[in-house]
């Protein structure tokens, strides 16, 4: 029934009166439609391409920020624009643990500005309600053009880790680690031979962003890995723009690495 309501009924409703479409599945119909819309598709940078951008920026000592938009970031951007704060609080009580205490319109605007200025932005490929559909709504509400952004997937952090690109990126590099799990994350990296240039922890939400950035200004590093919840988007973008650093919003991938410390 769910498949019918979600797709087959839509095809049924759009069928011209007195016509039928024989021997084609819902997948066939959708596939044909996507092919027709090919000129409107936006390319996303692949994992190797993002690695190469990061590697080149480290080598050339040029700034680069890679940030990511998941459901938490998108809901924070949606405050008062797509959803009322009360509805967001009901839908996403986890936001307070991710660094945003709803309502926080100042955080919303700082986040939007970071997205505008970031070099590469990870976006969701899922078309579930709080992912791509919400992305398109908040981007429009904030007057941001997707065509003006360098895009990759919002899971680029995991892709870099799981496909082995991160270990190549870190080899012989001085790394600044930022976020609540930074101490455990840094220990694991050191076990793997990575030189830790600095640790900034904890990061207590948006009010703590300026302090974290100020601390980072005294650290000479090749790469900053930022795992600080939703504020990581702002921190990574500003580290690149204001301090000339290469900064990657590493998210919960840091937790995955840190959990291996005792293994």
Q: Is the pLDDT of residue 206 over 50?
A: yes
Cα distances from 174 to residues 132, 158, 191, in angstroms, run 35, 21, 14
Q: Say if residues 45 and 152 touch (Cβ distance below 8 Å).
A: yes
Q: Say if residues 58 and 246 touch (Cβ distance below 8 Å).
A: yes
Q: Is the pLDDT of residue 2 over 70?
A: no
pLDDT of residue 114: 99
Query: pLDDT class for 5, splitting at 50, 70, 90?
Result: low
Residues 50 and 45: their CA atoms lie apart, in Å, by: 6
Q: Is the pLDDT of residue 234 over 80?
A: yes
Average pLDDT of the segment spanning 137-151: 96
Average pLDDT of the segment spanning 144-153: 96
Pick the closest to residue 238 from 144, 143, 124, 111 (CA basis).
Answer: 111
Q: Say if residues 123 and 115 touch (Cβ distance below 8 Å).
A: no
Residues 149 and 253: their CA atoms lie apart, in Å, by: 23
Share above pLDDT 90 across residues of the chain, in percent, rounded to a whole number: 88
Q: Lowest mean pLDDT: which of 22-26, 77-81, 160-164?
A: 22-26
pLDDT of residue 198: 99
pLDDT of residue 1: 60
Between 1 and 218, where is the model more confident? 218
Share above pLDDT 70 across residues of the chain, in percent, rounded to a whole number: 97
pLDDT of residue 10: 87
Q: Is the pLDDT of residue 177 over 70?
A: yes
Q: What are phi and psi of 248, to 5 degrees?
A: -120, 125
DSSP state of 215: H
pLDDT of residue 55: 99
Strand order in the sheet with 151-153: 151-153, 120-123, 64-68, 246-249, 223-227, 174-179, 195-200
Pairing of strands 64-68, 120-123: parallel
pLDDT of residue 260: 83
pLDDT in tens, 71-111: 999 999 999 999 999 999 999 999 999 999 999 999 999 99
Residue ranges of domains in the chain: 54-258
Instruction: Give me the chain's average pLDDT, please.
Output: 95
Query: pLDDT class for 4, splitting at 50, 70, 90?
Result: low
Q: Is the pLDDT of residue 263 over 70?
A: no
């Amino acid at each position: 029934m769910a498949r019918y309501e979600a797709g087959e009924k839509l095809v049924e409703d759009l069928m011209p009166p007195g016509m039928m479409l024989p021997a084609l599945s819902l997948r066939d119909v959708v596939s044909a439609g996507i092919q027709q819309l090919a000129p409107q598709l936006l390319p996303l940078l692949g994992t190797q391409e993002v690695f190469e951008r990061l590697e080149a920026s480290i080598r050339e000592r040029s700034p680069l920020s890679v940030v990511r938009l998941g459901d938490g970031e998108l809901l924070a951007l949606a405050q008062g624009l797509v959803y009322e704060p009360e509805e967001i609080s009901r839908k996403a009580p986890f936001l307070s643990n991710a660094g945003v205490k709803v309502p926080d319109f100042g955080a919303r605007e700082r986040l939007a500005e970071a997205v505008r200025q970031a070099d590469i932005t990870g976006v969701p490929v899922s078309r579930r309600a709080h992912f791509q559909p919400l992305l398109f709504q908040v981007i429009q509400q904030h007057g941001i053009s997707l065509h003006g952004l360098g895009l990759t997937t919002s899971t680029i952090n995991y892709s870099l880790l799981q496909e082995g690109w991160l270990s190549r990126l870190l080899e012989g590099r001085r790394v600044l680690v930022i976020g609540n799990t930074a101490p455990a994350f840094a220990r694991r990296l050191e076990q793997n031979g990575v030189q830790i240039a600095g640790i900034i922890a904890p990061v207590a939400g948006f009010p703590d962003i300026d302090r974290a950035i100020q601390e980072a200004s005294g650290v000479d590093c090749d790469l900053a890995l930022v795992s600080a919840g939703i504020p990581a988007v702002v921190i990574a973008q500003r580290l690149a723009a204001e301090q000339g650093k290469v900064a990657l919003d590493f998210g919960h991938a840091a937790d995955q690495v840190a959990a291996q410390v005792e293994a």
